[in-house]
Every structure is written in C-alpha cells, then in structure tokens.
C-alpha cells in the first residue's frame, strides 16, 4: 500500500510506484527511514526530561527566594525589643507598647485612676420661642402660637400626622385623633382631656404651663402614654416621649414634659415665618467662629440640622449635637483636658451663636474638661500621681501607653513583659518557607520504585515506577546536603544556646519513602506491589517549633537567642549569604544585603548544564534526521531509475513481440 506521506526533502514521492515492477517503493522507503530515525525517540525523551528538570529547577529557585524573604523578616531587630502590656482589669484600662520606645518589664500597681473629660458648652434651654409667643409674621401674624395649627406654631419638633390624613395619640388607653394641619396645640390638649375624663379618669387634666413652657399631666389614676397603634409624633412634640411617669403611690399621678414645647426647631428653614424657633428676627446669613474656624450660614438655605452638620464637618475640634428632650445645643471638645472652647471672633457676621444661646451673654453654660490622673504604687510602697490631658496616658509606665476607660478607686495591675509573638511568627514563617523548598527537592529527587512480577516462562519481570525528575542529579543532592548541614550547625557564640536545636527547632528524625513489595501473595501475585516505608534519619525538613522549649530559652537568655538568629554568625547571615549564591538574588536583611551576587548563580549553572545537553542532543537528532532524509532521497532516486529502466525493457519486449507476430514467427 503506497502513501504520499513519505520521508525525503528534495525528491517528490513516487506517484504511481511499482507500475512496471509491482513493488511499493514508498512503503519500503518509509520502513527503512523509520529504522534510521529510531534513535531519535530516545533522544527526544532525553530532551523532554532535561526540559522538565529545568522547569523544576526554576520552581526550586522560586521557593528559595521565599526563604530569603523569610530571613529578611527574621532579621528585624524589633522582634527582640517588643513588649506586651496586660491589664488585670480591662474594664478599667488597657495597655500597649509605645512604638519606638523601650519598655521596662515588671508588674505595676495602679491604686486609682480618674479619666479625663472634655470641655462642654451647653446652650440656654429657653433661648427659643415659647409656644405661647405671638407670631410676628406670616399668615398668623399677631396670633399666639398655641392657637394656630400645630404645624405652623413654634413647636420645637416638626409635628406630623403619621401615615394617614390625621394622627392619633393614646393617653390612659384612650385613642384621640388630631390633625396638625388644622388643630392648634390648645385644641388638641382640650380634646385629649375631654376624652380621658369621659372614658377613664374624671379628674384627669392635661395643660400647658406658661412659666416653664411645658406640658403637665395630672390624674388620680395611673397614667399611660402612647400605644403601638399611634400615628404621628405628638408625644415627641409635647416632650412627653422621654418624660418620667410618676405612677407610684396612691396618687395623684403626674407627668411633666422634659422641656419646652416651643423652642428651636431642628428641621425648619431659618427663613420660615417662625424663624425655626429662633427669637427676634432669627439667624442672619454670614459666618460665625468656633476655635478660630469660620462656619458659613445661609438664612435661606440652612436649618439647625445643617448648621450642626457644618460644625461637625469642620476643623473646629468640637462635636455639636441637639438634644430634643431638653431642647438644647451642646458643643463638646474633641480633645480632653482643661481646654477652652472659644466661641465667636471680631470678624463674625452671623448672629447664630447668640441666637442659639451658645454665648455667655445669651445664657450658655460651660463645663471645663478635667485631666486624667493615675495613682501608681512605687517600689518603696509609696504612691505617685501622674496627670495627662488625654485618657491615653504615656507618662506613667516607661514605654507603655495606658488607655483609661473608667474612673476607679480599686487597685489593679499592668504587667509588662517581652513579647515573643512576632518572633515566633517570624520563625514559623521561615520554617514553612524552608520546609517547602526542601520538600520540593525531596520530591524531585526521589528514586523510582522498582517492582518485580511473579516468575514466569521468561523469569522475573522488573518495572520502574515513578521517580523524581531530578533523580540522580548529584548537583541538587549536594545543594540540599549543604543546606541541611548549615541549618543543623552552630550559630552565635553561646555555650548552652548555640543552635536551632537548642531552641526547640529540630530537624525531622524519620521520613517515609515509597518502596516495592516483592512479597507475593497466593498464586504468586503481588497483593501490594508498592508500599510506604519509614526510615530513621532526617529528610532535611524541620519539625514544628517546640514553643515551650523556645520560650524557656528566650526567658533564660534572650541575648543568646538573638545571636543565633541575628548575630554576625547567626542564621540569617549564614543562610542568607549562601542563598544569595544559590538564587542569584540578594538576601535583604534589616542591616542590608548579605552575600555576593555571582555572575552565574548555582541553580542557574545547573540549568545551563541541562540546556547545553539539550542543544547537543538536538544537534544529534537533527543529524540523524538529515541522514534519514538523505537516505530516503537516494533510495527514491534509485527506485525511480530502476522503474524507468524496467519500463523501457517492457516497452522493448512489447515491440519485439509485435515484430515476431507480423513476421509469422
């Protein structure tokens, strides 16, 4: 059977082979060429193996750079100067190390503490309009506020009807309807009183106290306010939602609103005809100043809520808030201690501070902040007191910040000790990176498992299974031996603590490896041709850090432990220097890079050797291929010549046969 897919480079396949001879020359050429090319199969397999080896070397190199990074973190000197501070009562105070400072280990007794407070300015509670004040402009000009629809009155809180057209309020279990768009305060109070007297308590009264601008409720029966079915916010408007209900005893029972019904309105526009509750002609546009920071006010675009928002968003250093229960504005300094809140400046053009009752002249009250204080017990048994403007006290215990949380007259302690958490984490990170690199080498260099089948007519049959891509690579095996010898060696200059093993960081003492099981079962068949076998010795990896032994070593001689890791002859320097030569990348320790970067790194040299072999083998493959093609071309030429010659002989034979026939021979 002929084929057009035949070897050769410069002579085309025979299109109709064997016409004269009957021989399939193409098949012969293909067979002979395949025999010539047979050695390239093994050579190409060698190339694939070498390429796989180089890919594995790149992986190992990357893992070693991770070890270098871990060594860099392990070289940080602050790992040996970190301290922990633990409070025996975290409800009173917590403590922490101050970065960059040196703490003094020990147990410190705190006899008592007083937390720092902030300076506070509270506005005059009666600065706003009373609900009985006459409205001076708008459609109700000249009328008392409590006689106009509640929504248009001097109510300190904007009243609503709730979700429906009218609201409901429940007093003493009696539901009363109201409409803030049509009912005045007095109308609503009268309606509530009439309904409760008729249905619950004939002595019940609810009225307005003009002197205090508050709502007062009285009755001979216990008083209840509100229900889950109420609609609207009338209880809040009347300042009864947070009021104390005096229902104890035999009566009478009373409830008084927490503050005036009238006053400053948080949501109403400053230029409304009620002036948002501000007295006089209301707040004017311009600027006012707090702690030297100018706040802009627009009488047409702001309300009290937006002004409070501007104050809090500024750099004035205070937090402003409005208490709807007391109808007061409060300014609290963001910092504690005896600092003043300076209100107003000569360049102010808005009267907001005066209108809001935040100036001394308008009745504001100021409570100065206080310092924090800590009473410490001295080593001699006496006491000493330290003060701070902040509740983060940094001048009581060297290198430690105490965070005060509450006043206390009960003694508690703060224990300061060196903190090895960061050091242990750094050691474990190094171990993890190192083990990953060594494990990768172990897997890449593991030997193949040779299994033997039961004896047969041809004797025992052996088969090699698996094996690492770097099996038999003595260079990589030597590299691992150097690393294992280095990490298991001596560091520092101490007598008791001079190795990683002395700190609780031991190399593995056994390892497992796949082996063949040539024991045959019934009928001579292997039941388990491959098994896992444990050997004594180390595979080069570390066991988990013995934390107890490590902590004991650190407590006994922290300086010796530091020398093992960070000394001139320590782990980070020795291993880091060697790995710089292995990877070709610098090991960057806290003190700077260690080791000299070679022209060709160790692992790169392994790759270069493999690449050189690949090139040589590729040349061999090419030579064999060229020879095969040359052979195919020559055979094809010879077969074509032979076929042509046979065709000529056959044509001559035909001519002679015709001649004899014509001559009657």
Domain borders along the chain are 83-116+371-418, 121-126+266-367, 157-256
Q: Provide the pLDDT confidence category of residue 7 given band limits of 50, 70 and 90.
A: low
Residue 171 is classified by DSSP as: E
Q: What is the pLDDT of residue 515?
A: 67
**pLDDT at 20 (0 to 100):** 57
Average pLDDT for residues 345-370, to the nearest whole number? Answer: 95
For 121-170, give the DSSP string: EE--TT-S--TTSBP-SSTTTTSBGGGSBGGGS-BSS----TTSSSEEEE
**Residue 109 predicted with pLDDT over 50:** yes
Name 95's bridge partners: 402
Res 4: pLDDT: 44
User: What digits encode the pLDDT tens for the residues 469-484?
Assistant: 898 889 999 999 999 9
Paired tokens of 295: 């706040």
Q: For residues 156 and 303, what is the distance between their CA atoms, to the nearest angstrom?
A: 13
DSSP code of residue 447: P
The tally of CA atoms less than 13 A away on the side-chain side of residue 420 is 15
The reported pLDDT for the residue numbered 652 is: 80
Name the DSSP letter for residue 524: G
pLDDT higher than threshold 80 for residue 340: yes
**pLDDT for res 6:** 52
pLDDT at residue 553 is higher than 70: yes
Mean predicted lDDT score pLDDT of the chain = 89
> pLDDT band for position 654 (50/70/90)?
confident
> Rounded to whole angstroms, how far apart are CA atoms 162 and 176?
14
Largest CA distance in the chain: 162
pLDDT over 70 (residue 521): no
Question: Which whole number is the average pLDDT over 578-596?
Answer: 95
CATH code for the part of the protein at 157-256: 3.30.70
CB contact burial 348-387 (16+ within 10 A = b; e otherwise): bebbbbbbbbbbeebebeeeebbbbbbbbeeeeeeeeebe
**pLDDT of res. 25:** 75
Do residues 210 and 130 make contact, with C-beta atoms less than 8 angstroms apart?
Answer: yes
pLDDT at position 1: 38
- Higher-confidence position of 44 and 646: 44
pLDDT digits (tens, 9 = 90+) for 113-139: 999 999 999 999 888 899 999 998 889
Residue range 237-251: mean pLDDT, rounded:
89
CA distance 219 to 199: 13
Place 171 in a pLDDT band, splitting at 50, 70 and 90.
Answer: very high
pLDDT band at residue 527 using 50, 70 and 90 as cut-offs: low
Residues 44-65: what's their mean pLDDT?
Answer: 93
**Tally of CB atoms within 10 A around 563:** 20
pLDDT tens, position by position, 420-467: 999 999 999 999 999 999 999 999 998 887 665 555 545 555 555 667
Question: Tokens in use for 422?
Answer: 């960061």
- % of the chain surpassing 70 pLDDT: 91
What CA–CA distance (Å, rounded) separates 475 from 480?
Answer: 9
pLDDT category at 23 given cuts 50, 70, 90 is confident
Residues 6+ apart with CB under 8 A from 151: 158, 159, 180, 181
**Mean pLDDT computed over 363-367:** 96
pLDDT higher than 50, residue 60: yes
pLDDT number for residue 2? 39
> Of 182, 248, 192, 200, nearest to 217 (Cα)?
192
pLDDT one-digit tens code per residue, 494-507 = 788 999 999 999 99
Identify the H or E element spanning 528. none
The model carries a pTM of 0.64
pLDDT band at 3 (very low <50, low <70, confident <90, very high): very low
Q: At what angle do helices 547-556 and 421-445 cross, to 10 degrees?
A: 130
Tell me which range, 104-108, 465-469, 489-493, 628-632, is most confidently predicted by mean pLDDT: 104-108
Q: What residue ranges in 508-607 does DSSP mark as E strands?
A: 510-516, 530-536, 587-589, 592-594
DSSP state of 94: E
Q: How far is CA 281 from CA 149, 190, 275, 302, 652, in A?
A: 21, 32, 7, 15, 136
Contact 128, 157 (CB under 8 A): no
> Can you tell me the distance from the alpha carbon of 466 to that of 450, in angstroms, rounded to the nearest whole number?
9
% of the chain with per-residue pLDDT over 90? 71
Instruction: State residue 24's pLDDT score.
Output: 76
Instruction: Give the C-alpha separation, 662 to 284, whole Å.
Output: 141
Average pLDDT over residues 157-164: 89
Across 75-101, average pLDDT: 93
Say how far apart CA 566 and CA 80 lie, in whole Å. 10
pLDDT band at 112 (very low <50, low <70, confident <90, very high): very high
Among 237-246, 332-341, 496-505, 516-525, name the one with the lowest average pLDDT.
Answer: 516-525
Q: For 254, how many CA atoms within 13 A lie in the half-sphere containing its CB?
A: 8
3-state SS of 42-60 is HHHHHHHHHHHHHHHHHHH
Measured CA distances, 230 to 170, 234, 259 (Å): 7, 9, 22
């Amino acid at each position: 059977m002929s084929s057009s897919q035949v070897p050769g480079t410069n002579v085309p396949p025979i299109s109709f082979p064997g016409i004269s001879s009957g021989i399939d020359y193409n098949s012969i050429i293909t067979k002979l060429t395949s025999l010539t090319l047979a050695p390239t199969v093994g050579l190409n397999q060698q190339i694939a193996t070498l390429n796989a080896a180089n890919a594995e070397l790149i992986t190992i190199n990357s893992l070693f750079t991770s070890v270098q990074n871990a060594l860099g973190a392990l070289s940080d000197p602050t790992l040996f100067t970190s301290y922990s501070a633990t409070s025996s009562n975290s409800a009173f105070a917590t403590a922490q190390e101050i970065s960059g400072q040196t703490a003094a280990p020990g147990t410190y007794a705190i006899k008592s503490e007083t937390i720092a407070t902030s300076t506070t300015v509270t506005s005059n509670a009666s600065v706003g309009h009373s609900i009985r004040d006459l409205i001076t402009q708008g459609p109700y000009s000249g009328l008392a506020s409590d006689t106009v629809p509640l929504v248009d009155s001097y109510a300190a809180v904007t009243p609503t009807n709730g979700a429906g057209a009218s609201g409901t309020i429940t007093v003493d279990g009696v539901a009363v309807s109201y409409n803030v768009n049509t009912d005045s305060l007095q109308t609503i109070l009268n309606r509530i009183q009439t309904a409760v007297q008729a249905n619950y308590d004939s002595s019940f009264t609810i009225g307005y106290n003009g002197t205090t601008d508050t709502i007062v409720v009285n009755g001979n029966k216990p008083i209840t306010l509100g229900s889950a079915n109420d609609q609207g916010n009338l209880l809040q408007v009347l300042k009864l939602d947070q009021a104390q209900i005096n229902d104890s005893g035999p009566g009478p029972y009373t409830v008084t609103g927490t503050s005036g019904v009238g006053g400053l309105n948080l949501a109403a526009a400053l230029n409304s005809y009620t002036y948002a509750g501000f007295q006089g002609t209301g707040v004017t546009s311009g600027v006012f100043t707090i702690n030297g920071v100018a706040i802009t006010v627009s009488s047409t675009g702001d309300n009290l809520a937006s002004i409070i928002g501007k104050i809090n968003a500024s750099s004035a250093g205070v937090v402003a808030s409005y208490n709807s229960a007391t109808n007061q504005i409060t300014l609290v300094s963001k910092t504690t201690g005896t600092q003043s809140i300076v209100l107003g400046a000569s360049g102010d053009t808005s009267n907001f501070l005066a209108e809001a009752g935040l100036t001394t002249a308008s009745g504001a009250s100021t409570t100065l902040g206080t310092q924090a204080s800590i009473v410490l017990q001295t080593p001699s048994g006496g006491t000493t007191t330290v003060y701070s403007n902040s509740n983060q006290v940094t001048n009581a215990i060297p290198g430690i910040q105490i965070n005060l949380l509450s006043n206390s007259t009960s003694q508690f302690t703060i224990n300061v000790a060196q903190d090895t958490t960061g050091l242990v984490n750094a050691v474990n990170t190094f171990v993890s990176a190192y083990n990953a690199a060594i494990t990768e080498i172990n897997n890449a260099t593991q030997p193949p498992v040779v299994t033997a089948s039961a004896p047969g007519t041809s004797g025992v049959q052996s088969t090699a299974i698996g094996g690492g891509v770097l099996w038999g690579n003595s260079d990589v095996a030597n590299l691992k031996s150097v690393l294992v010898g280095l990490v298991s060696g001596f560091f520092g200059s101490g007598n008791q603590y001079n190795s990683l093993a002395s700190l609780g960081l031991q190399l593995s003492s056994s390892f497992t490896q796949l082996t063949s099981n040539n024991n045959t079962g019934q009928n001579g068949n292997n039941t388990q041709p491959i098994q896992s076998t444990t050997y004594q010795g180390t595979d080069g990896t570390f066991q988990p850090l013995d934390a107890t032994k490590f902590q004991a070593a650190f407590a006994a001689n922290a300086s010796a432990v530091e020398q093992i890791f960070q000394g001139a002859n320590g782990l980070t320097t020795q291993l880091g220097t060697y790995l710089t030569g292995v990877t070709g990348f610098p090991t960057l320790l806290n003190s700077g890079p260690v080791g000299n970067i070679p022209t060709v790194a160790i692992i790169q040299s392994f790759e270069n050797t493999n690449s050189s072999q690949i090139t040589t083998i590729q040349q061999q493959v090419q030579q064999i291929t060229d020879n095969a093609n040359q052979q195919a071309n020559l055979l094809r030429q010879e077969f074509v010549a032979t076929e042509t010659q046979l065709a000529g002989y056959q044509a001559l034979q035909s001519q002679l046969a015709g001649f004899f026939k014509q001559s009657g021979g």
